[in-house]
């Protein structure tokens, strides 16, 4: 497996996967999502097929003390093949700091399966209350949980992650 930096001309494929893989309240409009590519803290790493199709991607933010995975998705044709596990392993092994991500509350079968996938891959579910602020006008705040790779976060670490995400990613105070 080899994650590569997104080629800008392939952003539409990535956005199509975002729309297919996430509830509407969990992603921005096409224009706002694409505009993030101008932010030096934000990047999208992609796994391309031999035909240059986007098979999977990880969209992340790199901060001084942690890396935040905003979106991670596989083309549905490749789910269940082990590719997701390999990509996540490659990503966290190359990370220079703690990797965190958000997951939906464990209130349905799919959310439980996602959490179990991340736990099998070395992530821990932190039990601190957390809400993802609205990403666009008319979208709702979403109760979520933060997962962290390698260990649970202390309260101080969690508060730092939350305040950074709110300030930089979601642009709220």
- Among 67, 87, 89, CA closest to 75: 87
Domain spans in the chain, listed from the N-terminal domain onward: 4-169
* Location of structure tokens 């080899």: 2
Query: CATH: 3.40.630.30, 1.10.260.40, 3.40.30.10, 3.30.460.80. Which one for 4-169?
Result: 3.40.630.30
Name the token pair of 138.
Answer: 């008319």
Q: Which residues make Cβ contacts (< 8 Å) with residue 101, sequence separation at least 6? A: 68, 69, 70, 72, 118, 123, 146, 147
- Among 172, 27, 157, 34, CA closest to 100: 157
Q: First and final CA of the chain: distance in angstroms? A: 39
Cβ–Cβ under 8 Å, residues 83 and 1? yes
Residue 136 has pLDDT above 90, yes or no: no
Tens-digit pLDDT profile for residues 3-52: 899 999 999 999 999 999 998 888 999 999 999 999 999 999 999 988 88
Q: Which residues make Cβ contacts (< 8 Å) with residue 30, sequence separation at least 6? A: 15
- Mean pLDDT for 85-91 is 94
């Amino acid at each position: 497996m080899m994650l590569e930096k997104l080629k800008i001309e392939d952003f539409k494929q990535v956005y199509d996967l975002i729309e297919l893989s996430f509830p509407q309240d969990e992603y921005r409009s096409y224009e706002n999502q694409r505009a993030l590519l101008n932010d030096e803290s934000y990047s999208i790493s992609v796994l391309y097929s031999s035909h240059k199709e986007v098979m999977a991607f990880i969209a992340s933010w790199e901060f001084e003390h942690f890396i935040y995975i905003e979106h991670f998705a596989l083309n549905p044709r490749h789910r269940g093949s082990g590719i997701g596990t390999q990509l996540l392993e490659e990503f966290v092994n190359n990370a220079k700091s703690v990797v965190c991500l958000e997951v939906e509350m464990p209130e349905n079968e799919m959310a439980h399966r996602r959490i179990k996938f991340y736990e099998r891959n070395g992530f821990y579910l932190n039990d601190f209350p957390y809400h993802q602020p609205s990403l666009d006008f008319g979208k709702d705040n979403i109760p979520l949980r933060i997962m962290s790779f390698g260990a649970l976060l202390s309260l101080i670490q969690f508060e730092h992650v939350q305040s950074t995400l709110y300030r930089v990613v979601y642009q709220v105070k």
